[in-house]
Amino acid sequence: MVDDRIAITIVKGDITDSECDAIVNAANNHLWMGAGVAGAIKRKGGDIIEKEAVAKGPIEPGEAVATTAGALKAMYVIHAAGMGQDLRTSEYLIRRSTTESLQVADNLKLNSIAFPAIGTGVGGFSAQDCARIMVEAVRGFDAHHLNRVEFVLFDEGTRQAFDEAAESYRW
């Protein structure tokens, strides 16, 4: 039996250094880039990323849009609205924004995408629940072009949570 699922890589690191075709910004639905992952992307990639994102917003919580990646190694930044202006998230919003990001990348005919742990910063969601939701979303996605998802996590505890979630899907 051939396993044609998307390959998942899990690393501890800085998502702005990812060499994937696209990196995901854990965004609010107005797409302004404040602190955390968004701030790091803006600092390293340039203000153009936020300008392009804000021009495409606001979007509904759970949706995703792509912009160029400025000075980053990636070609695109996909802004996943894992929360609204109330800065609160949910299982539904994490799952939907993950799936929407995958769809945007697949529509752009990209091969790889890097995700942070959506909703675990300002959103306050637990790393374990986030990992389960995001890995399930990747495993349930029917990709036509995407063949690799990289989860780039800021700390060791979150990396371990994603390792455990991915392990539950191995045969």
Is 78 domain-assigned? yes
Range of the domain at 110: 7-167
Residue 42 lies in a domain: yes
Domain presence at residue 135 = yes
Whether residue 102 lies inside any domain: the answer is yes
Between 28-42, 97-111, 148-162, the lowest mean confidence (pLDDT) is in: 28-42
- When divided into structural domains, the chain yields a total of 1
Cβ atoms of 61 and 93 within 8 Å: the answer is: yes
pLDDT band of 170, cuts 50, 70, 90: low
Whether the predicted pLDDT of 13 surpasses 60 = yes
Is the per-residue pLDDT at 1 higher than 80?
A: no
CA 79 to chain centre: 8
- Determine the Cα–Cα distance for residues 43 and 20; give it in Å rounded to an integer: 19
Q: Which two tokens stand for residue 117?
A: 């742990």
Residue 104 falls within a domain, yes or no? Answer: yes
pLDDT at 10 over 50: yes
The mean pLDDT value of the chain amounts to 93
Tell me if 1 is assigned to some domain. no
- How far apart CA 56 and CA 74 sit, in angstroms, is 19
Q: What is the pLDDT of residue 134?
A: 97
161 found inside a domain: yes
Asked whether residue 159 carries a pLDDT value surpassing 60, the answer given is: yes
DSSP per-residue letters across the chain: ----SPEEEEEES-GGG--SSEEEEEEETT----SHHHHHHHHHH-HHHHHHHHHH----TT-EEEEE-TTSSSSEEEEEEEE-TT----HHHHHHHHHHHHHHHHHTT-SEEEE--TTSSTT---HHHHHHHHHHHHHT---SS--EEEEEESSHHHHHHHHHHHHTT--
Tell me what pLDDT residue 60 has: 97
pTM: 0.94
Q: What is the pLDDT of residues 85-144, one digit of tens each?
A: 887 899 999 999 999 999 999 999 999 999 999 999 888 899 999 999 999 999 999 999
Query: CATH code at 43?
Result: 3.40.220.10
Residue 2 lies in a domain: no
Tens digit of pLDDT for each residue in 53-65?
A: 999 999 999 999 9
